[in-house]
Chain A
Amino acid sequence: MSDFFLTAEAEPDEAVKLALRRIDEAQAAGQGSDVEGLRLNEVVVNMGPQHPSTHGVLRLVVTLDGELIKDVIPVVGYLHRCKEKLAEKRTYFQYIPILDRTEYVAGMNCEWAYVMTVEKLTGIRPTRRAEFIRVIVGELSRIASHLVAVGTFTADLAPLGTAMAFYTFRDRELILDLLEEVSGGRMMYNYLRFGGVRYDLPSGWVEQCRDVMKRMPKLIDEYASLVDDNAIFLQRTVGKGVISQQDVVDYGITGPNARASGVELDLRRTRPYSVYPELDFEVCTAQHGDVFDRYRVRMDEMRQSVRIIEQCLDMLPRGPVQSGSLRAPYVVTPPPGSCYVGQENPRGEYGTYIVSDGSRYPYRLKYRDPCFCNLQLFPKLLRGNKIADAVSISGSMDLVLGGIDR
């Protein structure tokens, strides 16, 4: 009986207490209820950690006045998996698979950031063919990630239901097929190695990839035609949740979220790495920084990624995919020192800061995760909006909790 009915009320935790305290403080300062005799007209609502539209285990403690959001306290950590500590017990090589599991929607890019850091520490240089392959798989992964982002975001906005998500997930499979063929995994690739990549491209892969890339722009237009002039969609997105350029500077917002505010910050251009300087693509920006612009920047970026991949397929040089001996260096011992390398993930600047003490294990590894930084802006972004918009704004930020919580 007692198993079934929840009678014992749990003590509110720190976040809820803080929200209540803030209400009391506001009340004491005379900004509380505007109705005479009513002590509170604010309620504290708990959203998450199990909530269908926070895309994972994000928890928001929201203080509401009617339908208006007065205050938001994000609570994270429900997916904290000790990845930084585990790095101390795994060799540099053994740690690569864990990177796939940080931002699990774009595993390839995360691996790439880590591998680049270690390469910089040790001085290993990848071969030229490997660089091109990395760009190709990285951009494929970016498209797949944006497809998830756009699909789930539109699924949160009621008028469409999951219609668009069905399309985007259908076509994401095409890309996952390609990635599976090169690496053997659908989501967890473990494909990049220090100084190269694990396998060369299988025969026939290039043509297959070209085929998919030829279809991709049409498919993207198809998604766009679903929502771009849908009145309800526009009403719920235009002008909502505006990120100003000052916010970008203050909070270190990166990625599509920053570019939607008109900031041309794209590490592929501003801190070029790999072979990006040789490639011709545009940095997609938009002007207003609202929910709709963030969605549009993602759509445009997919088109640019297609362009990048097509160029890389044309330019793909012959040669080995692994520098040095054919086997990847299983044991790397970087000299003592520390270094940080950032990389343009689908969500923004993703990087790892590694302190090495000259042994086979990283002494300290720290992630710089874009979602973690972007989420900080949340309280400011949501304040004054309607509670229903909280969902569309959080969807447009494209949070991945695996990265935030590490």
Chain B
Amino acid sequence: MGLSDMVPDRFKVAYPKLQSFRQPNIVTTTADFVFSWARSNSVFPFTYGLACCAIEMMSAGFARWDVARFGMEVFRPTPRQCDLMIVSGTVNEKMAPVLKRLYDQMAEPKWVISMGACATSGGPFYDGYNVVNGVDKVVPVDVYIPGCPPRPEALFQGLLELQGKIAAYSFTPVLPGARPVKEG
């Protein structure tokens, strides 16, 4: 199964076919395709382990699961070198400003995955006095992964969904499913 099969239908974009000419080393395609293809296969996640889900995120990076198979293994500890924030755990009121700040420090284009029930909606602690019910109250989220904790496979599916989303990303913000490019 190739990557293009992973792209959900609604994100599918009809790219012009690759065309090669007589002379060697000349291939034409759209800039969108090249950049999206490169981006979706070189995502740099941010090591932002918050809670229990972070342990599953770590397992996903190590032997047996091995996130490197999807071109996402280069976890970076500083937000300035990353373009994907995996929020793996509960966000509370004390952490929320920090999270926002780290998100702001990441360079565009950037994506956020909300991993686990806590980051999505507060999870088992939804009624606590100090819990932010979902990280989407603080930063925009691209992919939600359910589970408590999601198994590494679930994380991978989330990552593949995200790759599909990035692959459909365009410089012109008119295509279906594409997020408008932020001014800045």
A–B in direct contact per CB < 8 Å: yes
In the assembled complex, B105 has its CB within 8 A of some CB on chain A: yes
Nearest residue, chain A, Cβ from B149:
A187
A77–B127 touching, CB < 8 Å: no
Chain B residues near A78 (CB-CB < 8 A): 92, 94-95, 98
B125–A86 touching, CB < 8 Å: yes
The binding surface of chain A is classed by DSSP as: loop
Nearest residue, chain A, Cβ from B63:
A170
B52–A104 touching, CB < 8 Å: yes
For this complex, 14 residue pairs linking A to B, each with C-beta atoms less than 8 Å apart, are A4-B104, A6-B101, A56-B49, A78-B95, A80-B94, A81-B125, A81-B131, A82-B125, A86-B128, A100-B52, A152-B58, A169-B58, A173-B64, A186-B149
Query: Given contacts A82-B125, A89-B127, could you give 20 more A-B pairs where the C-beta distance is less than 8 Å?
Result: A6-B105, A50-B47, A56-B50, A77-B94, A79-B89, A79-B95, A80-B92, A83-B125, A104-B51, A105-B55, A162-B62, A166-B63, A169-B58, A169-B62, A169-B63, A169-B64, A170-B62, A170-B64, A187-B52, A402-B52
Band of interface residues on B: 35 or more
In the assembled complex, A85 has its CB within 8 A of some CB on chain B: yes
Band of interface residues on A: 35 or more
Give Cα A98–Cα B101 distance, bound, in whole angstroms.
29
Nearest residue, chain A, Cβ from B102:
A50
Chain A residues near B105 (CB-CB < 8 A): 6
In the assembled complex, A3 has its CB within 8 A of some CB on chain B: yes
A212 vs chain B, min Cβ distance (A) = 15
In the assembled complex, B15 has its CB within 8 A of some CB on chain A: no
In the assembled complex, B48 has its CB within 8 A of some CB on chain A: yes
Q: Which of A50, A79, A89, A166 contacts B51 (CB 8 A)?
A: A79
Chain A residues near B184 (CB-CB < 8 A): 1, 3-4
Chain B residues near A354 (CB-CB < 8 A): none
Give Cα A71–Cα B92 distance, bound, in whole angstroms.
27
In the assembled complex, A188 has its CB within 8 A of some CB on chain B: yes
In the assembled complex, B41 has its CB within 8 A of some CB on chain A: no
Chain B residues near A49 (CB-CB < 8 A): 95, 98
Chain A residues near B32 (CB-CB < 8 A): none
User: Residue-by-residue, is A1-13 near B (CB-CB < 8 Å gives 1, otherwise 0)?
Assistant: 1011010001000
Q: Which of B77, B131, B148, B183 contacts A52 (CB 8 A)?
A: B77
In the assembled complex, A381 has its CB within 8 A of some CB on chain B: no
User: Residue-by-residue, is B155-184 near A (CB-CB < 8 Å gives 1, otherwise 0)?
Assistant: 000000000000000000000000000111
B124–A51 touching, CB < 8 Å: no
Given A3-B182, A6-B104, residue A57 in contact with residue B50 (CB < 8 A) = yes
In the assembled complex, B42 has its CB within 8 A of some CB on chain A: no
Chain B residues near A188 (CB-CB < 8 A): 52, 148-149
In the assembled complex, A101 has its CB within 8 A of some CB on chain B: yes
Give Cα A105–Cα B52 distance, bound, in whole angstroms.
8
Q: Which residues in chain A, 37-59, are within 8 Å of chain B measured between CB atoms?
A: 49-52, 56-57
In the assembled complex, A148 has its CB within 8 A of some CB on chain B: yes
